[in-house]
């Protein structure tokens, strides 16, 4: 079974500054996808970014970027120019591509608070 | 708006009762997934359907069941409800295998 670990329960950042969230995962497989989802106070789960393990280039979506270190099994999320609307819980998720179910395995989440 | 709809948004019921949660996937999506989010268990995968067929089961209790209908909407049935079943239940959908899952707004279930 794959496990996903987010070691930072809470983080606080000043508006316009940068924050980095950590995520590590454990798998013996080589073909998988990684995701970051955001859950604001509305509780909606919103996709932030996706990374295919076979791609060496780190994914980027506007102010969100990842640092994917496959050998270290690390997948961190960097939020640049933080905005008040970025306040949310962020979940790292793992999906094994070679299985029959393609379920998402989630970490425990990191609560990010952006201060004005 | 992800395009995935879930009804109802909130549900309050008593122990021992049965409820049905409904999910309509995004247009064109064939896969539906159900997840449970609770304070003590976090986000847990329950079950997956693909084009009407069950594909995988996760940590789903025997009191829970689901199905996906020919029009691709899905229902999650929870019976003999217990206090510990109180949680946020999400439905997600994807085009096919191994594609990005988009989540609905969730159904918040409270068992009293």
Instruction: Give the model confidence (pLDDT) of B40-80 as tens digits.
Output: 889 999 999 999 999 989 989 999 999 999 999 999 999 99
> Is A100's pLDDT higher than 80?
no
DSSP state of A59: P
Distance from CA of B81 to the nearest CA of A (A): 23
pLDDT in tens, A20-59: 999 999 998 888 999 999 999 999 999 999 999 999 899 9
- Binary contact (B100, A91; C-beta < 8 A): no
Written as one string, the DSSP assignment of B6-68 is: EE-SEEEE-TT--EEEEEEPPTT--EEEEEEEETTTEEEEEEEEETTEEEEE-S--TTEEEEE
Mean pLDDT for the stretch of residues B85-98: 93
> Is A99's pLDDT higher than 70?
no
In terms of residues, how long is chain A?
Answer: 116
Strand bridging mode B87-94 / B102-103: antiparallel
The confidence score (pLDDT) of residue A30 equals: 87
- Residues A55/A32, Cβ–Cβ less than 8 Å: no
pLDDT in tens, B26-45: 999 999 999 999 988 899 99
Residues of A in contact with B108 (CB under 8 A): 43
Q: Tell me the C-alpha distance between A56 and A96, whole Å.
A: 17
- Binary contact (B48, A103; C-beta < 8 A): yes
Q: Tell me the C-alpha distance between A66 and A50, whole Å.
A: 9
- Binary contact (A43, B105; C-beta < 8 A): yes
Residues 22-51 of A with CB under 8 A from B: 33, 35, 37, 42-47, 50
């Amino acid at each position: 079974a794959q496990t996903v670990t987010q070691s930072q329960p809470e983080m606080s950042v000043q508006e316009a500054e940068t924050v980095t969230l950590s995520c590590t995962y454990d798998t013996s497989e080589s073909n998988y996808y990684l995701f970051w989802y955001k859950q604001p106070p509305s509780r909606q789960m919103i996709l932030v970014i996706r990374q295919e393990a076979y791609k060496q280039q780190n994914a980027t979506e506007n102010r969100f970027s990842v640092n994917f270190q496959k050998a270290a099994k690390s997948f961190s999320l960097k939020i640049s120019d933080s905005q008040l609307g970025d306040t949310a819980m962020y979940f790292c998720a793992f999906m094994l591509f070679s299985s029959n179910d393609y379920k998402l395995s989630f970490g425990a989440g990191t609560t990010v608070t952006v201060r004005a | 708006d992800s395009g995935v709809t879930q009804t109802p948004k909130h549900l309050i019921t008593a122990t021992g009762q049965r409820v049905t949660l409904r999910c309509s996937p995004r247009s064109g999506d064939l896969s539906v997934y159900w997840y449970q989010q609770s304070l003590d268990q976090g986000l847990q995968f329950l079950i997956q359907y693909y084009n009407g067929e069950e594909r995988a089961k996760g940590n789903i209790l025997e009191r829970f069941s689901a199905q996906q209908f020919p029009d691709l909407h899905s229902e999650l049935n929870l019976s003999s409800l217990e206090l510990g079943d109180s949680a946020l239940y999400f439905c997600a959908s994807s085009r096919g295998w191994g594609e990005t899952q988009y989540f609905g707004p969730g159904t918040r279930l409270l068992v009293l």
